[in-house]
Amino acid sequence: MIVCVCHRVSDKEIHQHASEGKSFEDIQIDLGVATQCGRCEDCARDVVEQCHANAAMVHGAWKAMVVTRRF
């Protein structure tokens, strides 16, 4: 889905950058998202937050699994 019409940036592109651990501000610089009219900013931030939350959840589950297996 296209999130930023002005720069033709998709949610997949934002997700890819967020998965690399980049902040919203870094993604703005890299992709130009939310730098022109600004209407996409809320949606773009939601995509980044969702991706970071999923990564944290996976990391936490992996860490718990490693700790459990030590014993």
Q: What is the pLDDT of residues 18-48, one digit of tens each?
A: 999 999 999 999 999 999 999 999 999 999 9
Please report which confidence band the pLDDT of residue 50 belongs to, taking 50, 70 and 90 as the band edges.
very high
Does residue 7 contact residue 39 with C-beta atoms inside 8 Å?
no
pTM, full prediction: 0.80
Fold of 2-70: Arc Repressor Mutant, subunit A (1.10.10)
For 62, the enclosing helix (H) or strand (E) is helix 41-70
Question: Judging by beta carbons within 10 Å of its beta carbon (0-12, 13-18, 19+), is residue 51 exposed, middle or buried?
Answer: buried
